[in-house]
Every structure is written in C-alpha cells, then in structure tokens.
Structure 1
Amino acid sequence: MAVLKIFSLYIFYSFFFYYSKGSAFTESLVSSTSPDVELLLGKIRASLQGKTENLLLSSWNSSVPLCQWRGLKWVFSNGSPLLCNDFSSPQWRNLSLSKDPSVHLLSLQLPSANLSGSLPRELGEFPMLQSLYLNINSLSGTIPLELGYSSALSDIDLGDNLLSGVLPPSIWNLCDKLVSLRINGNSLSGSIPEPALPNSTCKNLQFLDLGNNKLSGSFPEFITGFGGLKQLDLGNNLFSGSIPVSIAGLNLEKLDLSHNNFSGILPVFGGSKFGVEVFEGNPSLCGSPLRSCTGTSGLSSGAIAGIIISLMTGAMVLASFLIGYVQNKKRKGRGESEDELEEGGDEENGGNIVSEGGEEKLILFQGGEHLTLDDVLNATGQVMEKTSYGTAYKAKLADGGTIALRLLREGSCKDRASCLPVIKLLGRIRHENLIPLRAFYEGKRGEKLLIYDHLPQRTLYDLLHESKTGQPMLNWARRHKIALGIARGLAYLHTGLDIPITHGNIRSKNVLVDEFVVARLTEFGLDKLMIPAVADEIVALAKTDGYKASRAAKNEEM
C-alpha cells in the first residue's frame, strides 16, 4: 500500500507539473528553433508581403518542411547544403529541421513574386546569407542601413522596385565579398556615398548597376579603383561634371553612362570598344565616339556670360600675341632637319601627332587632336598670370573654343633634341588631379607654347582669400578634400611614372579647384624644360622664398 501511495503521488505531481508548466514547455521548443527560421516567420515575412497576404510567402510555415518554403535555400553551420533538389531525400520531408539551430538561410530569391512591402532591416542579421534577389517587385521605402552589416552577402539584386531615398554608405562595408550589386530601376536620389575606407578596392565586385534612378552629383570617382569591375551602369540618372580619365583604366566589358548631364571631353577608351549609345543623352559631352570637341568651349554658362559682357562693354580687349611671334619672322641657327620632330612622334605610346607649317611645329597629345596649326596661329590671347617659368594666357580660338597657353620664358631648352623627350613625357601624363598637356607649339624663332584645356575654375589662392561674412568659402571638409587631391596628384608625379617628376613650384595659385571641390595641379615639371642653370635658379628661389602669407590671410589659410 505504501508503494501504491507513492506511485499515485508521482503520477499526480507529474500531471500537475505538465499542466502548470505548459508555457515553459512551449518556450523550450521555441528556443530550439533555428534563429534564421524565427527571423523569417517574424519580421521578414511580415515586412516583405506588406498589408496583403502573399501566396508564395504563405509557404513559410512551421507545418511545412523547410525544403518546400518558396524562394529559399538552406545550409548547415558546417557548410554542407540542405538537399532540397532530391525529392527522395529524407531531408525534403523532414519537419523537424526548422527546429535545428544549425540550419541557416543561404539564399533568398523571390524575383517577380508580387511583393509589396518594404525591406526589413533584419536582413542584415542572417549570418550565412550570400544572395538576395528581390528584383521586379513593388517593394518601397528605403534601403536599410543594416543591410551593409551582413557578414556574408555577395550578390544583391533589388532592381525594378519602388525604393527611394539615398544609397546607404554602409553598402560598401560588403566590399570584401561583394560580387554583384544591382539596384537599377528604382527612385534612389542624392550622390553615391564613398566607402568609409578611402582605399577600398572592392576587388571581387564585377557587376555594378545603379542605372535608371535619380542619382545626382559628380561621377563617383572612387569606382574607378574597383579593378575587377566588368560591367558598370550609371545610365539614366542626373550625374553631372566630367568623366574621369581613370575610368579608361578599368577592363570593362559593358558600360552605360547615357542620359545624364556629363560634360567635357570623353576619356579615350582603348580599342574604341564602346559605341555612341554608351554616352548619348549628355548634350555637353564630346569626343569619340560622339561629336568632335572642335568648337566646344568647355566653359560654364557663368563664364560664357562673363566673356560676352566683357566683349560688349569693351573692358577686356583680347590682344593677339601669337601672330606677332609667327608672322614676318624667321628662325635662325636651326640645323635640325624638318623630319626630326616627326621621328619624335610615338603614336603607340602617348598618341602624339605632328602638324607642320613651314618652320613651325605643333605636337598634339590625347585630348588635343582637334587642334590645328591654324587654330594656334590665329588664336587671340589675354594675359592671366606671369610666373617664374613664363606667361599664362587665356586664348580664344576662331571657332569660339577657349584654350590655356603657357609661353615659356627665355632660358627654356634651346635644342629640339633636349626638349622633345620632356615634352612627350609631360604629354603622356593623365591623372584626375593634374591638368593634362594637350599640345606643344614651337615657332620660327624657337618660342615654345604649352597648350592646355582652359577650365573655368578658381585657384586655391582665390578660395583662400575669398570669404563671405559668416560663410567661409572653405570649410574643413572642403580643405581636407583639396589637400587629398593635391597629395594624390603629387604622389602620381613621384611614383606613378617611369621617370619621376617633381613639381618644382607648389603654391596655391597653381592649384585649380572645380565646382565639385576637386583639386588639379598645374605648372608641374616645367623646370625640366629649362636650361639646367635657369631651372636651378628658379627652384632655389622658390625654396628660399617659400610661402609667406599676409597677416590678414594667415588665419584663413590655417
């Protein structure tokens, strides 16, 4: 009887424990569920489907085996996949897998699934999610910042949705693993943010498609550092400004920059592999394969208006200076043959073209192919500045275009043999922070002109000495960007060439700054065009004098 009593008490307390602790029992089941399954059944499903129940998402149900959940692929913690392709596999019908904490989401693929919700920020919490394909739906709202904190995402396609707002800068946190990023066909706006790390190369990124949005600002130049990029689409946006020369260094198989507001001269892409359709819809863009840049001034509307007003008021009369050098004058003491200059041309390395007229010579480099000897001889010029190396002019061509000319002072290299190697070296230099040399002219008397693009932009000196009450022209962010641009330009001169070049005259007036606060150095390498004694004198003088700011300007420049 004692044994029976004890047994009865055991049964009683067992049932009491079972019924009184039912909630705790349920909690223990939930705790054994895969965390990824919990996320899907909780935040993810509700956010993606929006207010209307989605038939595809209804398959995400704990009463249905994981292999039958639509649009999903699974993997175990050890990296082995969940075998859902084999219908005879026991895993395909296994209901208990949803409770296995070692099961993780590998891929979420629901293109054209009639999704009408928004992107949940919890998408960044899946530890082994590699691919996210939610393209061709009606997802709205913004791209969550948390998406960039995913630990394994390599392929993202959010194209053809209704997404808006800016592209979160955290997206470049995925650079180490990112292979493809497609967010085309949405309503993203603003500029493309730079990576937090300035030297991010996204070495695995091959496909970047941001076309058909409302993105604006200048060309995201950092993209040209993504060396593995094969396809780039920025078409049908609101980008403006110039296209950097460095983009030609990418080994792109497909490119679309059409229908934006890009301006200036197109970089030269090797092999001419891109047609008109790649660049069309940019009215201010010129160069092959678009229209010729002849007749294109490259000036902003404000600069053009300033020229017109100055011409109408007669305040600035352009004086011809080249004609005085080249008409009725003969060069003496020139023993070289007229073919010698042509032999200096190297079309494969530098793209030089030689144009001759009597005793005058014109060497053209990349971007200056539209110039002719007559253009240079008949240009009218206005003095902009006199420097240690000569006089700088703004010259107007007969067709309305404008170029910048630098007439070298006496003491420049006398013989053609010593000049040409340096000229060809300078003519090959192309970097986004350096003003490129477009052509070189030598007249009958030996006068030498360096020909550049005329860019309607102010010097760093102007910006440092211009300020408005309560509104400084240069805040710290702009100063930092200008300083980095100058440093990159100098670094390229020092380490990016076969023969290093020192600038020889770093000063604020030799730094041009455009409307996007991009700094470009000019007057670099000119000491190499001078007779050694003269060059040493100029450089020594620059070292001795240094830079001496006035009392009024010191506070601005610090």
Structure 2
Amino acid sequence: MFWRVNISRKLNCPEILLVCLFFLFTSIQSDDLQVLMKLKESLEQSDTNNAFESWKLGASPCNFSGIFCNANRFVMEIELSQKNLDGNLPFDTICQLQSLEKLSLGNNSLTGIITDDLKNCTKLQSLDISNNSFEGTVPELSSLSELNYLRLEGNRFTGQFPWKSLENLSSLAYLSVGDNQFDISPFPLEVLKLKKLYRLYLTKCNLEGRIPLGLGDLTEMKNLELSGNHLTGEIPEDIVKLTKLWQLQLYDNSLNGKFPVGFGNLSELLYFDASNNSLEGDLIELKSFKKIVSLQLFENKFSGNIPEEFGDFKNLVGLSLYKNKLTGPLPQNIGSWSDFDFIEASENLLTGPIPPNMCKNGKMTAILMVNNKFTGGIPDSYAACSSLTRLRVSNNSLSGSVPAGIWGLPNVDFIDLAMNQFEGAVTTEIGDAKTLTQLRLQNNRFSGNLPSEISKATSLVSIDVSFNQFSGEIPMNIGDLKKLNSLYLQENTFSGNMPDSLAECKLINIINLAGNSVSGRIPASLGFLPSLNSLNLSTNQLSGQIPATLSYLQLSLLDLSNNKLTGLIPPSLSNQANNGSFMDNPGLCSQNIRYYQKCSSSSHIRTLISCFLTGTIVLLVLLACFIFFKKKQDKQEKASFRSDSWQIKSFRRLSFSEEEILKLIKQENLIGEGGSGNVYRVVVGTGTELAVKHIWNISADGRKVNRSSTAMLMKRSGNLPEFDAEVATLSSIRHVNVVKLYCSVTSEDSNLLVYEYLPNGSLWDRLHTCDGENEKLDWETRYEIALGAAKGLDYLHHGCDRPVIHRDVKSSNILLDEFFKPRIADFGLAKIVQSNGGNHSAHVITGTHGYIAPEYAYTYKVNEKSDVYSFGVVLMELATGKKPIEAEFGENKDIVSWVCSLLGRGEDILNMVDSSIPEVLKEYAVKLLRIGLICTARLPALRPSMRTVVQMIEDAEPSKFINITIRKDDGSDKEVVGSCEKLKSSP
C-alpha cells in the first residue's frame, strides 16, 4: 500500500509530515461524511425523488449524488436544487464543511430561518437558496467575502436586507434577492459599488424613491430587473452607459418622464419591459433596438407615432403598447421577419390598416387592437393563420367582408369584431373552430343566416351577434353547444320557431332574442334550464300560452312583452317584479295583476289542466332520460374498473393499496358529480377516510375516451389534460392549507386521484346552502377560513419552485376539514409559471362566472393577480353572505359591481355585511370587505400580492382591533369608493 510505513525504524521528518497529513485528510473527510449524513437526516423525510439514495455510511461523500469534491476529495459543492425537498436547513451543520465553495438548494420547499451560522461558510463563492419558504431576516453577509453569486429570491424574508454588508462583497457578480417582503427602503447605494455585477434582480423588494445616478457605472451589467417596487422619478440618464444590457425590466413602478437622451445606445437589448408606469413622450429613442425580441410598454402615457423602424425589427416576437396615447399607423412591415407571436395595441388612437404580414411565419397567436381608429378590412393573409388564438379588433372603423378562413381557424379561442362596419355572412367554416369559446360580432352589418354549422363549434361559451342584419331561422341544433353560457341574438331579423334544443344547453345563463321575428310557442322545456338567469323574448311574434314551467326559474330578468301570447299569466309569475314583463300581449289575462283582463273560469281551468299535463309529461320524459343515462353511466363506471393494467404513483407514504381503492369505487360511495368526473368517499382498512376523484377523458365532441385516445387528442391540440395538470401541480405541493394528494392510480380507461377527505365540504356549501341558523358559519370561523385560504394561495404564488396560478379560485374550491380549517383544492385548471419568467399568460378563458378577473376578457396576459381578484370575490362572499351572482344585483352584474354601485350611491358599507353576523363584529367584516375591494381592482397592477393580502388579513384580526370603530368620514370610505370609481370607469 502506498501509505504503509515501516515503523521498525526511526522515521525522518518528511515521513512524519506525510503521515500527519494522511491522518489529517482522513479526519477531515470523515467529518465531511458526518456533516452530510446530518443533512440527509434533516431532509430525507421529504425525499420523494430519492435524492439521498446514494448517501450511505461507509461510502465516500464524493460518490454521493449532488456532491462534488475538489482534488483533495473534500466536499466543495452541494447541488440539490429542484429535488422537491422540504424541512429546516441546518446551516450550523453545513458550514462545518471547511472546503465548501458552492451551496445550491434552490427551487425546493425548505423552511425556517437563516441562522448566523451562515457567517462560518467563509469560503462560499456561490449561494443559491432561491424559491423556497425561508422566513425571518437575512443575517449579516460581510464574512462571505469570496461570494460572487448570491440568490435569495422567492422566499418569505422580512425586515431590512443587510445592504451595508454588500460593501465587503466586492467580487459579487450575480445578486438576486427579489420577490421577498423586505421593509420599504430607498434604492441601496451599496449596490453601486459592485463593479463586477452582470445580473441584478431586485424585483418586488419594496424599494422606494428614485433610481440613483451611478447605476450607469456598472458597465458589466447584462440583466437589470427592478420591477414591482415603488420607484418614482425619471429613468436615470446614465443608464445609457450600460451598453451590454440584454434585459431591462422596470414594470409596475411609478416612473415618469421621457426616455433619457441616448437611450437608443442600449442596442443589445433583447427584452425591455417598462409597462405600468407613467412614462411619457414619444418612442423615437427605441428605433435603434434592432435586436429586440420582446417590447412591453403598455399602460403608460406615450404619445406620437410609432417609429417606422419598428417594422424592420427582425427578431421581434411580442409587442405590447396598449393603454397609451399613440397615434398614426402601425408600421406595415411589423412582424414580417421573425416568428412573431402577438401584438397588443388596444386603447390608443392608432389609425390606418392592420399590418398584413404579422403571421408570415405561422407563429402568431394574438391580434389585440381594441378601441382604436383602424380602417380597412382584415387582411386575407390571416385566414391561413392557423396558430391564431385571439382576434380582437372591436370598436374601430373596420369594414368589408371577413375572409372565410377566419371563421374556421383551428386554434382560435376568441373572435371579437364588435362595433365596426363589417358586412357579409358568417360562413360554414365556423364549424371547424373547435376551440372557439367567445364569438362577439355585435353592432356591425353582418347579414344572411347564422349557419347551422356553428353547432359544431362545441367549445362555444358566449355568442353575441346582436344589432346586425341576420335573418332566417335560429339553428335548430344549437343545443349541441353544451358549454354555452350566454346567447345574444337581439335586434336582428331572425324568424321561425324557437329551437327546442335550447333546453339541452344546461349551462346557459342568458338568452336574449329581443327585437326579431321569431314565432311559434315558447318551449316549455326552457323552464328546466338549471342556470338560466335572464330571458328576454320581447318584440317578436311568439304566440300560445306562457309555459307554467317558467315558474321553476329564478330569473333576474324576464321580458315577454310585445308578442302575441294568450291565456293565463302563470300565478307564480304574477308579481310586482314582473309587472312589465308581459306588456303588449293583448291576449293575456291574469287573476291578480292590474291592467290585465281577468281570465274566465273555464279558460282558467283549461289552462291549469294544460299546464299540469304538459309539466307531467315533461317530468316523465326527464325521469326516463335520467334513469337511462344513470344506468349507462353505471355500466361505464363498472367497465372502467375492470382493467388489469393499473399503475399507482405515490406522493406520500401510503397505508393502503390500489386494490382497496378500486374495490370501494361504487355507487353508494358517490358524494359528488361534476363536468370532469365523479368524486367518491372511501374508508380504507386502517379507518382513514379518503376522497377519490375519477376524472373522465373527454374528447372535443364531448364523448368519453380512453387514456391513449386522450393522449393523441391532446398531442394534436397542444393542451395538457386536466388529469395531468392536477397531478403535476399537486404532487409537488406541501402546505397545511392546500389539499393533500396521496397518489394517482391510472389505467388506459380510468384516471383516479386520491386525496385527503374533508368532512365539512366546501366553503360554498357552508355559506350558501345551509338551512338552519345554527349551521351558519360564525365570524371567527369565517376569519380563520379567509386567513388560511390566503396563506394557501400565498404558498402557491410564492412558495413553490415555480409560481402556480390556480385560475379557478372560488368558494366551492375551498374545502373545510373537521375543524373548519381550509384547503385550496381542484387544480384542474392550474398553470405552473415557467421558470424563465417573463409575462405569464394563459391563452384560454377559464374559471367560473362571477370570479373571473376582467383581464381574462381583454388580454391573454393573465398572472397571479387573476387569482387575487378571484380571492377578493371570496372575501366579499364571506363578509356579505351573498353569492357572486345574485338576481338582486341586476342583469350582467356581479357582487363586485353591486358593492361598488352601492358605495357610489353613498350607501353605508356596514349595511352590506351579512345580517347573521352580530353587530359587535360587523366592523371586522367591513375590514375583510375592504380587502376584497382592493383585491378586485380593475387593473391587475393595483391588486396586492397574496403575500400582502395575508398581512392585511392578519392585521384585520378581531382581537387586534377590538377598540377600533369605523369612522365613515375618516378617508377610508372615500378610498374604497375611489377604487370602485376606477373600476367602473375602466374599460
């Protein structure tokens, strides 16, 4: 052996030194092993990815996965990022590694605080603990003098960041501490001394005041991000010296003034975002940005013409200019050179034609040019733009016929041509628009028939073709649109009978056929539409009797006036609220509404008998259909669980097997049914209660298909199946206020998700469906639910390795355990934000009516603030006890507009609070209602982050404000009303 020593003779000095070094190295290596085993012990409970599988006693640390050693075989680097680890990180242990130069633990779920022991890691050159859930203050960093790479962003740090300690970190080249809740402070001047910096990420750091001069001296800077702060004043003039910049992010601040002279020197810029500020002046300085890929300048005060040079940007992919004061035409060559993706130019004063070649390379997804003065027609080139998902050009001066191919674009989700002068027909190609959800054509000159092929566009949720010149019959097969929520056909010349198939649109909320020439009888089956809230059939040629089944509906609007209806007005509809609903129908009679002739007894009896027989027949038919489909469903359920190829994927330690689960999926355990599948409550052998969600695979035509078919469908459409979306999201989440996913069980025919069972149902159930006074939630419980749910969403947005946008936050997706502690649930619509940052978007309108943020209908630029809006609606539910949509709010009104309209009329906000809340606690409910108003600001930038919402709710705890009273004139009411005024005046 190389190290064997002959001890039978006297050792000389060099040999003694060699032996000492051997034992020293062996001792240090042994110490490194013990340190790593302690680290494993702290974190292995959460090791679902087997990161520590190779970490074993007796093995060399240099052979551990994620461990790298130097030439002397001492631990030099720990790389355990994105391993789904949680638990407290023992810095006192880690810093015993005397040769440690790099510690990388980013994108996990680690918690706890950074202790002062970090100062002992004196040889660290790189430290990355970003995107975890560390809390508390960041300790002094002065002793880490060799540090050149520091990432702390995306945690929950508070207090003051130790900016002063940066003076001792002169080697620092990469500094990223954003997305934390540090105390508000001015821009740290210490940063200006870090001459080697090439990346500075201070987004969402609570910085205020001006960006200082001297920033331009950091000439190595390539990536500068200062967004989401409280920065004011002008962009510093010496920023023009940062000629190596390839990314500059300044959005969501309060910057003003013009671009500094020479700003065009930043000719290496690829990504520039200065949106949502108060910048002004023209865009001439930007004409030199030849390499720009993404240019985001929306929601500012820019004016003047768009430089013609923008049309020569050969790398430009995304351009957002909406909500400015820009004039003149768009450069006609814009988007002609690159894989252009989208243009957002809405709400300006732009004129001239739509540039024709933006989809030249077949990659464009969105044309958003609402509220301008564009003229001409839609260029024929866009008829072949198969990548297009949104076409919104409403409220311009466009004219001519729409190219036929536009109607049938295979990926289009939203066609909005309203308030122009378009003419011609909607062609049969619309049947090919399988992903179309919204069709808005109102206030144009379209004519001809509405083609029956529209029923093949089965994703349609909203149709508005009102105030046009359409004629002919309403398509008889319109009932094939199973997802239809609103149908506006008013003020055309439609004729023929009302389609009986409308009764098959079970989700429809609004039907408006006013001002047409529709004849025949009103279908009695309309009375069985469970969601119908508004029915306007006025000014038509309808005849016969008013169906008694309309009494089953809870309508906020019913208008049957100016028709040819005859017979008895059903007694249940004969009330003050419907007094004007039946005007100008000379043949109608009523026993209890003034101004109508009294019905004769014989006609009264005949009418009642007719209504009874009609209702009985309809009920029998519906009952037979229900039994038929239930039996069919049961057979499908049983057949789906006969597969032998089950695969179970566990995300937590399990005390049950897939066989136990499968045996218990039966009808008597069914507790819920939904559009995506059934939910069962099962009790396994250990006594553990579980909720099992059986997700159906649905094809584009509404049929259930097996797993392999679904995979092919989704591959063609480019979408992630709901099952895979929920698994991908929930499997990596660990939080007390997010529902636990134990495992998934899959076969070719069935997809099962196994959750914890929450015995108290959903918040919706407890708020809106409880019958006795004793079953209502008291205020203390409501408060705890609000706080817990907010913490769950805060974790999704800020605590995961990548932010998770839920996209369907609502009270029915907040489940309650046996102690009424809340859990965020149902992630079928969730979107995990990509780690490369940028502006996060969702290209499909998703969510639930009443909770959907207004930007969903305006732009695909949807981010975490959309969840904040939806959560604000939940807070309003908790405070008022009302549903998001109520008949008393009025047509097309929701709880947000209701609250704001009452405040705008000077109503006392206390009067809006749920009457079941005791008077002594109503003031605290008002606090929650105010937070809800802040969360539902029209502009996403005005909404707080969920982390801020948690802080506001904690500050509104009743015990902290027991002696505070509401003062109606102290300015706070005015502030809330002001927010509402902004909301009402915004488009």
Task: Give the TM-score normalised by structure 1.
Answer: 0.38
Higher RCO (Cα < 8 Å, 6 or more apart): 1
Task: Give the TM-score normalised by structure 2.
Answer: 0.23
